[in-house]
Amino acid sequence: MPKVEKLNALVEKYVNLEYQLPNGQVAKFLNEAKTYLGNQLECEYGGDRCFGVVADMDFILICTYEEDGKNPELVLYKKR
């Protein structure tokens, strides 16, 4: 994953992806009423997936996904 140089204000409806959990359930982690800080980062090793970083004062979420947020995979969700 590349180094995060800056964070942008992100509106929830554009970044609240549904992730499939190991038990097969699907879950969203963000609150629709909030604005978060984050960024999209291109993979350094190529391919068609990007990294997404989203955070606020209480958590950080890192994921990968294809174009337009398709096939998202949760990498890390860490609460403070």
Tens digits of pLDDT across the chain (80 residues): 778 889 999 877 778 899 999 999 999 999 888 889 999 988 877 788 999 999 999 999 999 999 888 999 999 999 98
Residue 15 falls within a domain, yes or no? yes
Residue 1 falls within a domain, yes or no? no
The pTM is what? Answer: 0.86
- Note the pLDDT of residue 47: 80
Q: What DSSP string runs through the chain?
A: -PPP---EEEEHHHH---EE-TTS-EE--S-TT-EEEEEEEE-TT-SS-EEEEEE-SSEEEEEEE-GGG-S-EEEEEEE-
Domain of 12, in residue numbers: 8-79
Residue 2 falls within a domain, yes or no? no
- Note the pLDDT of residue 3: 82
